[in-house]
Copies of this chain bind each other. A is one copy, B any other.
Amino acid sequence: MEKRKDEVNGKIVFYNYKFNDTYVNTFLAYRDANQYRGQGPSRAAKYGAKAVIVRSMSHAADNNPHTGATRYDSAYEKIPAVAIGLRDADRLSKQIEESKVTVRMQTNGHFLPDTIGHNIIGELIGTQFPKEYITVGGHLDSWDNCEGAHDDGAGCVQTMEILRALKAIGYRPKHTIRFVLFANEENGLRGGNKYAEEAVAKNEKHILAIESDAGGFTPRALGLSGSDEQFQKFLGWKELIAPYGCTEFNKGGGGADIGPLSRALKTPTASLNPDSQRYFDIHHARSDVFEAVNKRELELGAVNMAALIYLVDKYGL
């Protein structure tokens, strides 16, 4: 039940905000609910709360907790916060409504010191413009509680598959294509930041960066962030790519790892947008495993990205 701010002092706060299933695009439901996990702990600490429990941001039928980033406001105490599964959240909610509940919380989460990580970069050197780059990538790390098969093993495998496929057909690109497995997306974006930093330091020219970081599900859309002119050119390729799955071409595209490059060099960025229905069943939960990835859906995603990369390499953007 709802509580007033002045009732929070000394308590464990339970955010039971339900993932809004009326958003057909589940990423909108995620954005909508994200504030509770992201800012909720500090909001509660502000009013004297001792800890926070968050309902998982998912509409899965199982009871796995879905965890993720929390941004603490340094003005308030850094209180513990945990996510619980949907069945547990429903049960706890029912118990709270029926009677006074005592919750005892023990968390084992802790920070380890930083260590060295690496971006892994492969290149197909351009035949005409070797110093102009098209970047395609995903991120190599995953959230701590899962394999991260979809987030973002899928993007990594697709990146490698695009390289394999282009080599298999003997394609010699005009521009240099970089295949990048980014380090540390989940916890600081250091791989993406470093990649952009190096690009600036070396005065590189980047014509497109594309990322797959929304799961390895069946491809439905490609998105592009760029100038109006670039977007019109992109739209002109829709009929060529649609038969392979991406029947929608959206304004706005990119990814966390290529964001820094976009901000630093105004590089246009694109994203593969697969079907979103199953993503938050497994996102940042123990169910994000290899077995949940469908080989054919994964390959089709790579095919659609490869087609866009080919077109941009051949005809510019």
Contacts and interface: CB of A to CB of B under 8 A. Distances in A.
Given A61-B295, A278-B294, 20 more contacts: A21-B296, A24-B243, A24-B244, A24-B245, A59-B296, A218-B218, A218-B275, A218-B277, A220-B220, A220-B247, A247-B247, A275-B275, A277-B294, A277-B296, A277-B297, A277-B300, A278-B296, A278-B297, A281-B294, A281-B296
13 contacts: A21-B296, A24-B243, A24-B244, A24-B300, A61-B295, A218-B275, A220-B220, A220-B247, A247-B247, A277-B294, A277-B297, A278-B297, A281-B296
Query: Which bracket fits the contact residues of A?
Result: 20 to 34
State how many copies of this chain the complex holds: 2
Nearest to A25: B243
A300 B25 CA distance: 11
Contacts of A296: 21, 59, 277-278, 281
Interface string A244-262: 1101100000000000000
Nearest to A245: B24
A223 to B, nearest CB: 14
A134 B114 CA distance: 64
Interface in A275-314: 275, 277-278, 281, 294-297, 300
Contacts of A243: 24
Interface in A53-67: 59, 61
A296 B247 CA distance: 21
**Main secondary structure on chain A at its contact with chain B?**
loop
A65 to B, nearest CB: 19
A287 to B, nearest CB: 12
Contacts of A244: 24
A21 B294 CA distance: 14
A242 B294 CA distance: 25
A24 B53 CA distance: 44
A278 B300 CA distance: 12
Contacts of A59: 296
A24 B281 CA distance: 25
Contacts of A218: 218, 275, 277
A157 B24 CA distance: 20
Nearest to A297: B277
Contacts of A295: 61
Contacts of A24: 243-245, 300
A247 B245 contact: no
Nearest to A26: B296
Interface in A198-253: 218, 220, 243-245, 247-248
A162 B147 CA distance: 38
